[in-house]
Amino acid sequence: MDEQLEQKMKKILRHMLNGGLVIVADSPQRESEGDMIGLAEKVTPEAVNMMISKARGLLCVPMSKAFADRLQLEPIETGSNDTFGTAFTLSVDSTETTTGISAFDRAKTIKKLANPDSQWDDFYHPGHVFPLVAKEGGVLERTGHTEAALDLARLAGVAPVGFICECIKKDGHMARRKDLKALAEGLGIPYLTIEELIEYRKHHEAKELDIESFTKVDFPTKYGHFQLEGFKDSEHPDKEPTLLISKGDIKQGSPLLLRLHSECLTGDVFGSKRCDCGAQLAEALTKIEQNGSGAVLYLRQEGRGIGLTNKLRAYQLQDQGMDTVQANQHLGLPVDARRYDIAAEILRQKGVNEVELMTNNPDKVEQLENYGIKVTKRIPVEVGMTAENRDYLKTKKHAMNHLLSEVD
């Protein structure tokens, strides 16, 4: 990770712990908008007033599910028209407030929501402050400002509750990235992107992994003869294991021929023509057999990290005319939530520091490099194109920057 980002995040967290605000911009692939964000535990009337007078949007309070459950804050059903899946609950005011709407009253309510001893009876329902329930995985699960606020609170070591407000220009239009940077500079507050927050989290959490091998077995297949080794994350023992399918001595001096393959039940097992996953897995195993050595790391990240249930929901939306990116966004899910920190840790345990990576996805190259694994060569895996998945592959090329020379 860039040292500059490391220092930037340290300054931002110190600033927020002192009661300061930060402007966070989301991805151009999402809304390309920004929110002013603060830590609820450190809220002041002055910070609230800055939000409502300078950001001008709706002031909300993102929090962890555990805090929301303790306060009995049930999500409001928003229906399928809520494009980005924002998890609103019934609005509240602290019982310590008067009208509830002033910056001072809203600061009291926000502070009370961050208090771990608060209960349902400490609030009026409804009120003037709008709690939101964040996804537990933060921006690695959903790339929204709700999750960004939760991540910043956790990184700062305070209660997992923030307060946020959308940034709107004086003319009433939403502020975009150029406007957001200018606003941050004018107010003298930090500017951060969700992409930077994702990068920071991935880098730091990679250091905390506790991955261990629990078995290694002989593994003859129709593609060739391999070894199969299972790895468990000791902090999440109930999760399905990551699998290392290898041939030969993978510790040898030359770069390892490697495929990082995210699980795809529909493609890998059933041969779905909606994607190219099954064909890519077959091609990778065939190449490794021909090479005499190499490995596939089979990662349990179904549906680019959103899980099988959400993948099938996204398929339904695609049947109605959306592409794969639009479908995920409509469900309020990240376009690609996959992480390769576990892969990097397993490679390190195996003594592998350099790889020749079989992929069309530049994000895999970038992430492995960020986690300290050198990618000496990228080997394209352009196989499995069908009439049914041609549009899907076009979306991967043009919306997700996959390197696909055979796709228009």
Q: Was 29 annotated as part of a binding site?
A: no
Backbone angles phi, psi at 6, to 5 degrees: -55, -50
Q: Nearest CA to 192 among 181, 178, 207, 203?
A: 181
Annotation says 313 is catalytic: no
Q: Was 262 annotated as part of a binding site?
A: yes
In angstroms, rounded to a whole number, what is the distance separating the alpha carbons of residues 244 and 258?
10
Q: Was 275 annotated as part of a binding site?
A: yes
Q: Was 232 annotated as part of a binding site?
A: no
In angstroms, rounded to a whole number, what is the distance separating the alpha carbons of residues 278 and 352?
26
DSSP secondary structure string for all residues of 6-19: HHHHHHHHHHHHTT
Annotation says 122 is catalytic: no
Hey, CA dihedral for 64, 200, 148, 46, is it positive or negative? positive
Q: Is 22 helix (H, G, I), strand (E, B) or coil?
A: strand
Q: Nearest CA to 386 among 258, 276, 281?
A: 276
Q: Was 324 annotated as part of a binding site?
A: yes
DSSP secondary structure string for all residues of 120-182: GGGEEEEEEEEEEEPPTTGGGT--SHHHHHHHHHHHHTS-SBEEEEEEB-TTSSBP-HHHHHH
Q: Nearest CA to 391 among 339, 289, 340, 318?
A: 318
Give the helix/strand (H/E) hosting 296.
Answer: strand 294-299
Q: Was 378 annotated as part of a binding site?
A: no
Is-contact 404 359, C-beta < 8 A?
A: no
DSSP lists the bridge partners of residue 162 as 39
Q: Was 348 annotated as part of a binding site?
A: no
DSSP 8-state secondary structure symbol assigned to residue 269: I
In angstroms, rounded to a whole number, what is the distance separating the alpha carbons of residues 147 and 65?
11
Q: Nearest CA to 390 among 377, 374, 407, 373?
A: 407
Exactly one of 276, 336, 339, 341 is catalytic; which is it? 336
Q: Was 277 annotated as part of a binding site?
A: yes
Q: Was 280 annotated as part of a binding site?
A: yes
Give the list of residues 6+ apart from residue 254 with CB closer than 8 angstroms, or none: none
Is-contact 408 394, C-beta < 8 A?
A: yes
Exactly one of 338, 339, 348, 391 is catalytic; which is it? 338
In angstroms, rounded to a whole number, what is the distance separating the alpha carbons of residues 307 and 284?
23
Q: Was 60 annotated as part of a binding site?
A: no
Binding positions = 259-264, 275, 277, 280, 302-304, 324, 359, 364
Binding positions for GTP = 259-263, 280, 302-304, 324, 359, 364
Residues labelled as active-site residues: 336, 338
Binding positions for Zn(2+) = 264, 275, 277
